[in-house]
Chain A
Amino acid sequence: MVTCADIVKLVTDYNEGRMTPAERRRFEEHVAICPPCRSFLAQMRTTVELLGELREEDVPPDMEEHLLTAFRDWKRDT
């Protein structure tokens, strides 16, 4: 029998399409009748979406200044 812990363990294999049709069917049968696992599956997908939306633009100011100087020097010399 597929347990909730099995669903948790296999959720990435499922989302990555790395299951046999039989494994996939057993996974989906469990999720269909188990609300917490359905929530967990949805949360894992939301997590991936949120990670894809991370837009951090935090660069150490010294580094940016140094790189910009190098970029200007390069432009001047070419």
Chain B
Amino acid sequence: MLRATVSSVAGSRTVAIEPAEERILAQLRDGDEEAFCILVRRHSPSMTRVAMAFVSRRAVAEEVVQETWLNVVRGLDGFEAKSSLRTWIWVILRNCASRRAEQEQRLVPLSELAAEEASGDDIGVSPDQFFEEGRWAGMWSSGVAPWDDLPEERLLSSELQAALLEALDTLPRMQRAVITLRDVEGWPPREVCEYLGVADGNQRVLLHRARAAARAAIERYLEEGTR
């Protein structure tokens, strides 16, 4: 049984819907309002962040997310579960966001925006943290304080979560979209490249810079706490 599932996943892009999603779908079709709200709350923050790659302002991105959910509701009867529920919802989001971007006459493709953001030689840590010249050129001039001996509750605190979310908000928009899909939502790299239409190499540079910025935000938060 397990083997059949694995081979059907590997052999086809039209993967059958997972049992957990099947349950949610049944609840939605049943009119279960709580299930609907859980789904909306679970996905909307990331959807808003990704929509912001397409459209100019947060308020517009929120409208796009709202329109997406309305289309999800209208489409529930017709949804044939040929793709996963998650994929279906995110494709609707992309369609709504692209349409809105066209209306706003934002005609630069995301692939170009990604290439632009991935250009330059920013390695994700400020050059002044390394020796500039001499025998130690390129080596850390400041230490890197390990996090392993920190109490776990500091790393899991809601303040740290807030600092991370704030860091995501301040990222350039393609970096924000990539790190949201890769690390917050856990998508594999290939799916992210396909979804956003960006080259794999650029996806990795954007992911690197975004992760480095998130690391720096955690570092700042931890340093503030020890002062």
Q: Does B15 contact A (CB under 8 A)?
A: no
Which residue in chain A gives the minimum CB-CB distance to B41?
A57
Instruction: Label chain A's interface by main secondary structure.
Output: helix
Q: Does A21 contact B (CB under 8 A)?
A: no
Contacts of B212 in A (CB 8 A): 8, 44
Whether the pair B33, A59 counts as a contact (CB closer than 8 A) is no
Q: What range describes how many residues of B lie at the interface?
A: 35 or more
Contacts of A25 in B (CB 8 A): none
Q: How many A-B residue pairs have CB under 8 A?
A: 130
8 Å CB interface, B20-61 against A:
31, 33, 36-37, 40-42, 44-45
Whether the pair B124, A54 counts as a contact (CB closer than 8 A) is no
Whether the pair B45, A58 counts as a contact (CB closer than 8 A) is yes
With contacts A5-B130, A54-B184 taken as known, whether A43 is within 8 angstroms of B45 at the C-beta atoms is no
Contacts of B73 in A (CB 8 A): 67, 70-71, 74
Instruction: Label chain B's interface by main secondary structure.
Output: helix
**Per-residue 0/1 for A10-46: is the Cβ within 8 Å of any B Cβ (1 yes, 0 no)?**
0111001010000000000000000111011011101
* Chain A interfacial positions (CB closer than 8 Å to B): 3-6, 8-9, 11-13, 16, 18, 35-37, 39-40, 42-44, 46-48, 50-60, 63-64, 66-68, 70-72, 74-75, 78
Cross-chain pairs A/B with CB under 8 angstroms, 27 sampled: A3-B130, A5-B123, A5-B138, A8-B124, A12-B208, A13-B204, A16-B207, A35-B144, A36-B144, A39-B146, A43-B147, A44-B215, A50-B155, A50-B161, A52-B183, A55-B42, A56-B165, A57-B41, A57-B42, A58-B41, A58-B45, A59-B40, A63-B66, A67-B69, A68-B33, A68-B36, A71-B36
* Chain B interfacial positions (CB closer than 8 Å to A): 31, 33, 36-37, 40-42, 44-45, 62, 65-66, 69-70, 73-74, 76-77, 123-125, 127, 130, 137-140, 143-148, 155-156, 160-161, 164-165, 179, 183-184, 186, 189, 204, 207-208, 211-212, 214-215, 218-219
